[in-house]
Amino acid sequence: MKRKLREHITCSMCGGDAVLKHGDYQRNGILHHDFPYYECTQCGEKHYDLDLLIELNEREKNVEATA
């Protein structure tokens, strides 16, 4: 998941500035470390990049298929 993400986006909840951060993200019982997300500096809402979530979904399908 080495994609170049923008440093800032506009928060869809309040219109504030959401900055790029990295942290743990748990999905389907799998913990992903150092996962990129945006956090709004005004309201704290977290936003995830759709393309990364789609890629993550594909990887999880491949893991399930080989298990």
Parent domain of 47: 8-66
Task: Tell me how many domains the chain contains.
Answer: 1
CATH number at residue 12: 3.10.20
Question: What does the pLDDT look like over 10-50, one tens digit per residue?
Answer: 999 999 999 999 999 998 888 889 999 999 999 999 999 99
- Give the strand order in the sheet containing 8-10: 8-10, 17-27, 30-40, 46-47
Global pTM reads 0.80
Return d(Cα 31, Cα 9) in angstroms, integer: 25
Task: List alpha helices for the chain, DSSP H.
Answer: 50-66
Whether residue 3 is contained in a domain is answered as: no
